[in-house]
Amino acid sequence: MKIFETKQTLQNFIDENRSKNAIIGFVPTMGALHEGHLSLIEKSKEQCAITVCSIFINPTQFNDPKDFEKYPKTIKEDLEKLELAGCEAVFLPSVEEMYPEGMLQLPHYPLGRLEELWEGAHRPGHFQGVCVVVHRLLEAVRPDLLFMGAKDYQQVAVIRHLLDHYTFEPNITLIACETIRETSGLAMSSRNVRLSSEQRIQALAIYQGFGKIQKALQEKTIRSTEILEQEFVQQLLDAGFESVDYIAFADPKSLEPITDLSQTFVVLVAAFIGGVRLIDNQLFPHELFKRV
């Protein structure tokens, strides 16, 4: 596995492989790798001759400085996991390499409603930071396929928007991969290491909330999205969450709020437990609720 710290050395490697017509897959991450990340590497390896993973904790996407400071860093273990997973190349840029002009004057990405809804509203500037860094990473790697997790549902929509509105050479196909969960149902996340074992159990209330919605859909006992939302918030607070940013019933493409539950919809959740902000989501209707 090759490790690159500069765009130039990475690009030389990419050019060399492109000249051999290799399909390049890219998995951007912020490290503290878990099975969710590794599932993306696995998907990329199924379809690409070369898989590049980047590890970069991007300062500009953190709207909370404390969250940035506390973000877990496990680079040695990460590299071991990537090597074992058969990743061909890792990009480990410094902040200076990604932001040579500093971080004060950055380009603005017009994201429309995506920046006003849900994560956009609760994390001001977050998606601007995500767009700046992903745009730069994509220009450095120039992949054919980009693998991202549906765990960050709105982020996938934002990056689709970026790919639709900017030109990339070659064209990039975004592949959204399913959320990997612990056997308990808890969505894997780098931030989970900051939860106590008790909080990990309490955090299952999110997955259980999805299960209750599925059951209510099957049993046709749903009165309104408003009531479902209130009940979901209450279940999280009862379980031990400190606060809930939102429980959103939304259109799977536009992410606009919906009230008609006869169509496919997504439920997006963001809530705090033990000072850690967890996000999760589930598409409905969904047949795979074996554990609830």
Q: Which residue has the tokens 């990537």?
A: 82
> Is residue 199 within the footprint of ligand AMP (CB under 6 A)?
no
DSSP string, 202-255: HTTHHHHHHHHHHHHHHHT----HHHHHHHHHHHHHHHT-SEEEEEEEE-TTT-
Number of Cβ atoms within 10 Å of the Cβ of 66 = 9
Got the DSSP string for 64-117?
Answer: SHHHHHHS---HHHHHHHHHHHT--EEE---HHHH-TT-SSS------GGGGTS
Least Å distance, CB 187 to ligand AMP, is 5
Region binding ligand AMP by CB under 6 A among candidate stretches 69-77, 182-190, 192-200, 249-257: 182-190
Q: Of 188, 250, 255, 273, which lies in the binding site for ligand AMP, with binding defined by CB under 6 A?
A: 188
Q: Which residues, 6+ apart, have CB-to-CB distance to 59 below 8 Å?
A: 68, 95, 103, 129
Q: Which stretch binds ligand AMP (CB under 6 A): 43-51, 118-126, 187-195, 241-249?
A: 187-195
> For ligand AMP, which is the closer residue by CB, 93 or 228?
93
Vertex 235: Cα angle to 230 and 236 (nearest 5)? 100
Phi, psi of 275 (to 5 degrees): 75, 5
Q: Does the CA dihedral 166-172-173-175 come out positive or negative?
A: negative
The reply on whether position 151 binds ligand AMP by CB under 6 A is yes
**Residue 157 touches ligand AMP, criterion: CB under 6 A:** no
Q: What are residue 176's DSSP bridge partners?
A: 148
Q: How many Cβ atoms from other residues are within 10 Å of residue 47's Cβ?
A: 14
* Shortest reach from residue 29's CB to ligand AMP, in Å: 4
Query: Among this protein's residues, is 37 annotated catalytic?
Result: yes
Smallest separation, CB 196 to ligand AMP (Å)? 20
x/- letters, 24..53, toward ligand AMP (CB under 6 A): -----xx-----xx-xx-------------
Binding mask 111-150 for ligand AMP (x = CB under 6 A): -------------------------------------xx-
Q: How far is the CB of 263 from ligand AMP (least distance, A)?
A: 25
Candidates 90-98, 174-182, 211-219, 225-233: pick the segment binding ligand AMP (CB under 6 A).
174-182
Q: How many residues bind ligand AMP (CB under 6 A)?
A: 17
Residues that bind ligand AMP (CB under 6 A): 29-30, 36-37, 39-40, 148-149, 151-152, 177, 179-180, 187-190
The catalytic site residues sit at: 37
